Structure 1
Amino acid sequence: MESTSPAPDGFEVVAVASSAGGINGLGTLLSALDADLPVPVLVVQHLDPRHRTVIAEVLARRTPLQVKLAGDHERTCPGTVYIAPPDRHLLVRPGGLLTLTDSELVHFVRPSADLLFESVAGAYGPKAIACVLTGTGRDGAMGVDAVKSRGGTVIVQDPATAEFRGMPDAAVGTGSVDFVLPLEEIAAVIRGLVETKRQ
C-alpha cells in the first residue's frame, strides 16, 4: 500500500501492539532493527498477570536494542524498547514521559493497545508510527484510527501471515492503514521511515 509522506522533521516514536503469537512476532521484528535506531519503541503485548513475566529477557536475546519493562515516570531514550508490564496500561506524554496506570480494562485487556496508540497520537501527532502484529480480538483498531487522524503512519502485519489474525484484520478494517506487510518486511520499512529524514 502507498505510504503517506513522513513527518517534516522525521519520526520520533514507534508503538507496537501484539497479543496471541506476539512473542514470536516481536522477536522477528525487533531482531531486524539496529542498535542505533534513532527512536524508542513502545510495546503492548498482552501477558498473563498471574505469572512473573520474562518477556524483556526473552526479547533482549533476539535484538541488539536495549529491552526493558517500562517504568512509571520514565523518560524514553532512542534505541530502547519499553514493554508495558503485565496488568498495567502504558501511556506516553509529550517529551517521551511514560506513565503506567491500572485504570479499568479496555476491551477486556490491560495493557491496552488502543490506549497506548491514542496517547502516542496525542503526544507525537504526525511523528508517530503505530504497528499492529498478530493477536486475537480487536485491540489496537481504535488506536490506529487515532494515530492516522493525527497524521501518523500505521503499519499492520498482513493478516494472512499472522499467527492469529484478529487484531491485524480489525486494524486493516479501519481503512486507516498505510502499509500491510508480511512480518519479515516490517522492520525494513520502519528503518526506512525513521532514518529518511536523519541523513
Structure 2
Amino acid sequence: MPNSESLPASPSSGRRDIVVVGAKLGGVTAIAKIALSWPEHLPVSVIIALGASHQPPAVVLQIIEGYAPVKVAYAVHGEAVRARRIYLSPPGKNLIVGTGGVLLLDDGNAFDMVKPSVNRLFAAAAAIYGQRVIGIVLSGNSADGAQGLLDIEAAGGVGIVQDPKDAAAERMPKHALRGDHPHYCVKAAEMAGLVQELSEEPL
C-alpha cells in the first residue's frame, strides 16, 4: 500500500481529494460495493458518517476491510486527515472535520435526532475544504444528508446520491434528491470510478 500523507486543510488544492459519505440502514453493503472497485493509488481521503447500530463495530470494520484496498479504521479524536485512508465514525459518535484538517468526535446533545449526523460532517467538510469536497449520500432510513449536500455544493463541491432503486433503504437517497439537485445519481458500484474521474479533473 502506498504511504499516506497529510492533506493540507485549505480550499486552494488543485483537485478534489476529500470524500465525505453518509450512510445508515443498508449503508455497509453500499460502502462495500464502492470499496470493491476503489483505486488503491487514488490520493484522496474518505470520511464516513455511518449509522450501523444493528451491527457489531468489529464486524462492520471487518466487512469493509475485506473489500477496501486502503487502510480502514474508526476515526480517533484529533488525528490528522490523511490520503488513502477510509475513516469510519465510531458507534454513537458524531464525526466532523475541524480546523487544521483534524478529525473530531463528539457525543452530540439532547437535541441530536440521529448520530452520527451526516449533515454535520458534510457542513464541516464544506467549510474547511470547499470545492475539494465530494459528498455522497447512500442508503438510509432517515432524511439526514440532504442539507449537507446543499452546503457542499454551495461551497463549490460535488454531490452524489445513490440511485434509490439501488439502495436497501430508499429514504435518504430520495430525500436528498427531493431537497437538493446533486450533480450525480448513480448505483453504488459505479461510484468509485466516478470519484476517480472527479478527482482527476483540475479545479
Q: TM-score, normalised by structure 1?
A: 0.89
Deviates more, 1:68-77 or 1:189-198: 189-198
- 1:12 Cα deviation after fit: 2.4
Matching residue of 1:165? 170
Q: Does 1:141 align with 2:135?
A: no
In structure 2, C-alpha distance between the alignment counterparts of 1:53 and 1:47, rounded to whole Å: 11
Pick aligned residue for 1:32 from 33, 37, 40: 37
Matching residue of 1:154? 159
- 1:196 Cα deviation after fit: 2.9
Q: Contact 1:49–1:86 (CA<8 Å) still a contact in 2?
A: no
1:88-134 Cα offsets, whole Å, 9 max, x none, are: 10010244210001112666211111110011111111110000111
Matching residue of 1:85? 90
Matching residue of 1:111? 116
Deviates more, 1:180-189 or 1:48-57: 48-57
Matching residue of 2:193? 188
What amino acid is aligned across from residue 201 of structure 2 in structure 1? T
- 1:180 Cα deviation after fit: 0.5
Superposed CA RMSD: 2.0
Q: Matched residue pairs, number?
A: 192
Same amino acid, percent of matched pairs: 28
Matching residue of 1:4? none
In structure 2, C-alpha distance between the alignment counterparts of 1:128 and 1:193, rounded to whole Å: 10
What amino acid is aligned across from residue 29 of structure 2 in structure 1? N
- 1:28 Cα deviation after fit: 0.4
Segments of structure 1 that go 5 or more residues without pairing to the other structure are 1-6
1:144-177 Cα offsets, whole Å, 9 max, x none, are: 1111111110000111221111000011112330
In structure 2, C-alpha distance between the alignment counterparts of 1:86 and 1:186, rounded to whole Å: 25
Q: Contact 1:38–1:195 (CA<8 Å) still a contact in 2?
A: no
Matching residue of 1:18? 23
Matching residue of 1:74? 79
Q: Give 1:43-58 correspondences, 5 Å limit.
A: 43-48=48-53, 51-58=56-63
Q: Contact 1:115–1:143 (CA<8 Å) still a contact in 2?
A: yes
Deviates more, 1:53-62 or 1:115-124: 53-62
Matching residue of 1:122? 127
Could you say what secondary structure the match of 2:14 adopts?
coil
Q: TM-score, normalised by structure 2?
A: 0.88
Distance 1:163 1:142, change over 3 A: same
Distance 1:156 1:99, change over 3 A: same
Q: Contact 1:17–1:45 (CA<8 Å) still a contact in 2?
A: yes
Q: Contact 1:53–1:86 (CA<8 Å) still a contact in 2?
A: no
Q: Does 1:176 align with 2:181?
A: yes
- Segments of 4+ in structure 1 off by > 6 A? none
Segments of structure 2 that go 5 or more residues without pairing to the other structure are 1-11
